[in-house]
Amino acid sequence: MENDELDSEEFEDFEDEEFTRDLVVPGEILTEDIVNFLPGRGTILNEKKDKIISLNIGLKKITKNYINVIPLRGFYTPRPGDKVIALIVDKNPVKYRCDINAKDFAILKPKNTFKRSKIKTRGRIEKDTGDTSTEKYSIGDILITKIISADRLNMPELTTVGKYLGKRSNGIVISIDTPKIPRVIGRSGSMIKLLKNLTKCHIFVTQNGRIWLKGEDLAHEKLLIDAIKKIEKEAHTVGLTDRMSEYIENEKKKRGIN
Amino acid sequence: MMSIRRVISKIERNYIINNLKNEERIDGRGLWDYREWKIKHNLVASAEGSADVCLGDTRVITGLKYEVGEPFPDIPDEGVCTVMAELLPLASPLFERGPPDEQSIELARVVDRGIRHADCIQTKKLCIKENEAVYILFVDIYVINYSGNLIDAGGISALTTLISSHIPEGKWVDDHVEWTGGYITGETIVKELPIVLTFGKIGDIIFIDPSLPEELICDGKISISVTKDKVTSIQKSGAATFSIDDIQMLNKKAMELGNLLRDNLNLWQYKVNIE
Amino acid sequence: MTLLIKDEYPEKLFREDGKRLDGRDLKELRPIKLEVGILNNADGSAYLEWGNNKIFAAVYGPREVHPHHLAKPDKGILRVFYRMATFSVFERKRPAPGRREKEISMIITDCLEPVLFLELYPGTSFEVFIDVIEADGGTRCASTTVAALALADAGIPMKSLVSSVAVGKIDGKIVVDLSGIEDKAGEADLPCAITWFNEEISLLQFDGDMDLNELDTFLKLAKDALKEIYEMQLNALKSKYITIQEKYNGGQVKQ
């Protein structure tokens, strides 16, 4: 139930030097120097092709000669390989339908809920019995899943086979604005480590804006939820990690927990 | 909490119930605490009375319009007050466009009955001329943000609207109504202040003012309207059953909490004085 | 059914000192207050007070199209629902949506569509709900302005914001931003909106009569007023984040 493997390049977006923290809105001109700069994420050339403009409300960031805008608001678009927390909302004998906080529901087929273990008995290959039925999970279950396929036209497909994946039967799931997820993880997982150490909770953060957490008791869980809400609100400020550690220590004293 | 979905996850349900078993709520309240009330009055100039009521994240805007018309034949000397509620689709992904659904009709009906049977509106004073002309009041409730317990928020906002209202005063001259230049204000229209309180029930646990996640997993709800010393209307909704003891307890509780809330909100401060 | 006080218009729309009835100059806008992100259930939201107009806007999307047959396989659809509260006008409006509301919904949809990349979201819908709590002239312009903000607040990729204002002629003089009385008693009314990525007109209606020279003046005046409104929109979008930044950066924020 660790998140350390998630600190890919994308999750470092927010943690950067102060000079990149210019706030921009849709249509705002980022540069008129199109010789030295290229439009990156969240940006576009205007119709006359003499300016680069922003598409989103976000923070301007220059990496090499690309101008990017890191969005502050936005919705989740599924991509293959993403880990997502899914809620089963419907099932029929051949598939589960899951809510993954995207525009479409995702499909989970029963064959992707079992490990492909082929048991040999007397030389004959026996099929795993549960392989083709949707008995394993029920409506209302929370699953940590991985997206195996997703494109614009078809419903995304999920799998629960893999490390850390599968059903969660305790704890609680909260959701925050998707673009602020990287901030909850922090540079190389620094924020998430801090949260884990200080609140002694298990946390699993996924790209679709959902966070599963489980603590010793309700008081610790509530503290962590409040802390995450604070991170969400202040995601675009600098020095957040230090402030959070201070905040949690203060709150612990106030609430009388350790 | 997870964003709003029609299906509530099992672990979220367990989390809410575990909190309730500890006599706590997921937002840190006790079982018998309301969320924070915020009331603004007379914010809409085109209405003859209006209120903007926030109960936690639930937000309701209510306005009053009037017309002069003929009374009903069976009550020739009484004015009429009708309550309408609309759950705007901007308030929640759970609300859909289209004609009023059960939920909005229930909201309007419960608020209406709470007011009607409590000697709240002085319908006799809303009569200009017997058999000929009475005031017809329209109290229209619009839900702006839905975060649970619309009935209590709607009830308070309807009351605030009536208290803050200022209707042109008419007199009967020969065979038609003329404006005297004065206004009828809240004090004339409203007498008793009935407060509607909604209790949720999950399993054996009963609590006041369900928030949205609690409301979505509620087995049932019961709304009780109380004046200072009387119960004036009760509405049980949802598939839960309540024991007689529970209901007796709730009536007592409603009376006690209703009086407390009435004192705390001090709704008479919202009346307007027009010279 | 009757009302005791009648809805009457004054004969003159200018005061003796040459100002308009509400004390404004010819080119002056009414006070505008904009706020974003006020409704926490919606994906994006905004609230506007423009003179006496009070309007909420909320955006949901991209989400599944309902009813399903409206979905297009090659692009997403934008749907705008403009509604007025029963008590938003002088005489109580009937609760069901009327023809006027449907027409305004349609022109706002057409006005906002050029700034969105609908082709990137096939089979989905973006829904914008606009609810007018109080109306006092120019609600279609105010609604367009606030709906653009709500879309930006939802984080939906946009080419630019959209701003809108009405220009009109009252008592023979050309004025900007007609109030309710001026709208009803005036001679001409021209609501227009601009998409800032190409600086072109995206909403245009006109009622009244005027010659070609006047039309030129109208559009020139409108452009100046629209720039003013655009600045307010930018501030509204940014201020929410800047106040939090300032709190922790010791007031040093770059804009």
Q: Does B57 touch chain C (CB under 8 A)?
A: yes
ipTM of the complex: 0.92
CB A9 within 8 A of CB A16: no
Q: What residues form DSSP beta bridges with A210? A: A175
- Burial class of A167 by CB neighbour count within 10 A (0 to 12, 13 to 18, 19+): middle
Cis omega (within 30 of 0) for bond into A110? no
CB B167 within 8 A of CB B195: no
CB B126 within 8 A of CB B79: yes
In a domain, B43, yes or no: yes
Nearest C-alpha neighbor of A108 from the set A124, A75, A85: A85
CB B101 within 8 A of CB B117: no
Q: What residues form DSSP beta bridges with B221? A: B200, B237
Which domains does chain A show, CATH number per domain?
Answer: 11-71 (2.40.50.100), 83-168 (2.40.50.140), 172-255 (3.30.1370.10)
Residue appearing with tokens 């004998």 = A93
Q: Distance between CA B196 and CA B224 in Å, rounded?
A: 5
pTM of the model: 0.92
Angstroms from C11 CA to nearest CA on chain A? 44
Q: Distance between CA A39 and CA A31 in Å, rounded?
A: 10
- Burial class of C124 by CB neighbour count within 10 A (0 to 12, 13 to 18, 19+): buried
Q: Distance between CA B77 and CA C183 in Å, rounded?
A: 40
Between chains, do B61 and C1 touch, taking CB under 8 Å as contact? Answer: no
C95: amino acid identity, one letter: P
Give, rounded to a whole angstrom, the gap between the first and last alpha carbons of chain C. 56
In a domain, B275, yes or no: no
Angstroms from A215 CA to nearest CA on chain B? 12
CATH topology of domain C32-241: Ribosomal Protein S5; domain 2 (3.30.230)
Angstroms from C64 CA to nearest CA on chain A? 6
DSSP H or E stretch at residue A180: none
Nearest C-alpha neighbor of A219 from the set A200, A233, A234: A200
Of C4, C66, C92, the CB nearest to B168: C4
Of A25, A71, A238, the CB nearest to C249: A238
- pLDDT, one tens digit per residue, over B147-181 is 999 999 999 999 999 999 999 999 998 888 888 88
Which residues from C are below 8 Å from A19, CB to CB?
A: 254
Which chain C residue has its CA at the smallest distance from B99's CA?
C96
Q: Are strands B133-145 and B80-87 parallel, antiparallel or unpaired?
A: parallel
In a domain, B134, yes or no: yes
- Other CB atoms within a 10 A radius of the CB of residue C56 amount to 30
CB A46 within 8 A of CB A227: no
Mean pLDDT by 10 residues, chain B (275 residues): 77 91 90 95 93 96 94 91 94 90 93 88 91 93 95 95 93 88 90 93 94 92 93 92 94 95 94 80
Sign of CA dihedral A196, A202, A207, A209: negative
Give, rounded to a whole angstrom, the gap between the first and last alpha carbons of chain B. 50
In a domain, B5, yes or no: no
Q: Distance between CA C101 and CA B88 in Å, rounded?
A: 15
- pLDDT, one tens digit per residue, over C88-105 is 999 999 998 899 999 999
Q: Distance between CA A197 and CA A213 in Å, rounded?
A: 13
Count Cβ–Cβ pairs < 8 Å, chain A vs chain C.
Answer: 97
CB C195 within 8 A of CB C115: yes
Q: Phi/psi class of residue A81: alpha, beta or left (left: φ > 0; alpha: ψ in -120 to 50)?
A: left
Which residues from C are below 8 Å from A42, CB to CB?
A: 157
Which residues touch A254 (CB under 8 Å, ≥6 apart)?
Answer: none
Between chains, do B144 and C90 touch, taking CB under 8 Å as contact? Answer: no
- Per the structure, the complete domain to which residue B18 belongs is given by 10-270
Which residues touch B190 (CB under 8 Å, ≥6 apart)?
Answer: B120, B121, B122, B159, B162, B163
Which chain C residue has its CA at the smallest distance from A72's CA?
C155
Which chain A residue has its CA at the smallest distance from B9's CA?
A140
Identify the pLDDT of residue C36: 94
- pLDDT, one tens digit per residue, over C2-39 is 778 887 788 888 888 889 988 999 999 999 999 999 99
Q: What residues form DSSP beta bridges with B62? A: B51, B141
Q: Is B34 helix (H, G, I), strand (E, B) or coil?
A: coil
Identify the pLDDT of residue A119: 57
In a domain, B4, yes or no: no
Q: Does B128 touch chain C (CB under 8 A)?
A: no
In a domain, B28, yes or no: yes
- Burial class of B152 by CB neighbour count within 10 A (0 to 12, 13 to 18, 19+): buried
Identify the pLDDT of residue A17: 44
- pLDDT, one tens digit per residue, over B25-71 is 988 899 999 999 999 999 999 999 999 999 999 999 999 999 999 99
Between chains, do C134 and B44 touch, taking CB under 8 Å as contact? Answer: yes
Structurally, chain B folds into a number of domains equal to 1
Identify the pLDDT of residue A21: 66
- Both tokens of residue A134? 């949707």
pLDDT tens over chain A, length 258 residues: 445 444 444 444 555 444 446 889 999 999 888 888 899 888 998 888 888 999 999 988 888 888 889 898 999 999 999 999 999 999 998 899 999 998 889 999 988 888 766 555 666 655 555 566 778 899 999 999 999 999 877 889 999 998 889 999 999 999 999 989 988 988 888 899 999 999 989 999 999 999 999 998 888 999 999 999 999 988 888 888 888 999 999 999 998 887
- Both tokens of residue B102? 């059960």
pLDDT bucket at C147, cuts 50 / 70 / 90: very high
Mean pLDDT of C211-222: 88
**DSSP secondary-structure letter at A102?**
S
Helix C139-153 and helix C212-249: axis angle, to 10°? 40
What are the boundaries of each domain within chain C? 32-241
